[in-house]
Amino acid sequence: MLNIGVVGGTGYTGVELLRLLVMHPQVNLKYVTSRSESGRKVADLFPNLRGFSDVCFTEPGIDTLAQCDLVFFATPNGTAMKMVPALLEKGVRIIDLAADFRLQNTDLWQQWYGMPHSCPDVLAAAVYGLPEINRKAIKSAQVVANPGCYPTAVTLGFLPLIENALVDDQRLIADAKSGVSGAGRGASVATLQAESAESFKAYAVEGHRHLPEIKQTLSAVASHNIDLTFVPHLLPMIRGIEASLYATIDAHSAGMSLQEIHQLYVQRYENEPFVDVLALGTLPETRSVKGSNNCRISVFRPQQGNVLVVSSVIDNLVKGAAGQAIQNMNIMFDFAEKTGLEQVALMP
C-alpha cells in the first residue's frame, strides 16, 4: 500500500483527487493538508466522502509529508515549487496538478505566471505527465508535471496529425470550451450561476496560460516550433471540455482519404486505455466522459476539402486533472494503469 499525501485538498481538483484515491485499492490516504481547514474532517467539508475516509485536514509541513511515498499538489500555481525540493531530499515522489513544472523555459514561466521560478534545477528534471507521449519517462520520474485540462484535450486531438506530418503545423487552430469547474472553487462573479447560466463567451483570446504548454508539447513531437491559435470559451455547465481542432492538410497528404486518416488515429491509440477513437461520422459528447478518465476523439474532413476537423472531449476534472494524476501514479508505481480509474461515465 502506498502512503499518499494531498496538499491543497479543498478545491474542485482536490476533492476529485480524493474521490478517486479513497477508491484505489493500493492507496492509504495518510494526509490531506489545508491551512484554513486544519483539524476538520475532510468528509465534513465534502460529504460525498462520508464513510470512505476519516482523515482530517492537517497543516502542510515537510516532516509530516515526508512520511508519504507520493505527494500530490492540488494547489495554486507557485505553491508546489516552494516545497518540492525539500520533499525530494526526503525521498518523496511528486505529482503536481498545477503548472509549476510544466514549462521548461523559466523565462516563459515568469512571462505567463508572473513570478520567477524558485527551483529551476527541479524543473529541468520534471517529466510532463501525458502518458500517451511520456509513459516510459513517467515510470522513473521523481517529479511529474500533470498536464492542464485544455492541453490534454488539444494535444491528444492533434497528436496523430503532428506525428505523421500530415498538416501545416504553422496554422493550427484550437477552439476549446470548458465547464465552469475549470475556473476553480474560489468565489468569482464571472462564475456565479446568475452570471454564467444561459450565456456563452470566449475569454483570454489575447493569450491563455495553456497556450505555451500546448505549443511546447506539440513542438517537441514535431521536432520544430509549431504555431497555434488557441481560443478558450466558458460553457454554462459544470464539467467537461470539447476542443474543436482545425488543421490544413499538407500538399503531400492531400491524396489521403478520410478513412486512411481515421485509421491512423485508430492505430495510434489502439493500445491507450483511456483514448477512444469513435467511428467515422460519430460526434463525441462531453456527457459521455463525465466522471471518467476517458478522452473521446472523432476526425472529419468537411466537404472533402483541405481542412481536417478533430473533436476531442474529456472531463476537465478527471482526464484533465485528477484522473490523469492517478494514471501517472499507477505508471510510477507499476500498478495496472487502469487501477482505480474504471468508472463508467455518468449519464445523464
Distant-in-sequence, close-in-space partners of 24: CB < 8 Å, separation ≥ 6: 326, 339, 340
Instruction: State which H helix or E strand residue 327 sits in.
Output: helix 323-332
CA end-to-end distance (rounded Å), the chain: 35
Strands 93-96 and 70-73: parallel
User: Could you give phi then psi for residue 280, rounded to 5 degrees?
Assistant: -55, 135
The phi and psi torsions of 17 (rounded to 5 degrees) equal -65, -45
For residue 335, how far is the Cα from the chain centroid?
Answer: 20
3-state secondary structure of 229: strand
Which residue has 485528477 as its cell numbers? 322
Active-site choice (68, 119, 149, 295): 149
Cβ neighbours around 289 below 10 Å, total: 28
The whole-angstrom separation of Cα 297 and Cα 314 is 9
46: amino acid identity, one letter: F
Greatest CA span in the chain, whole angstroms? Answer: 64
Alpha-carbon gap, residue 92 to 82, rounded angstroms: 15
149 is catalytic: yes
Active site residues: 149
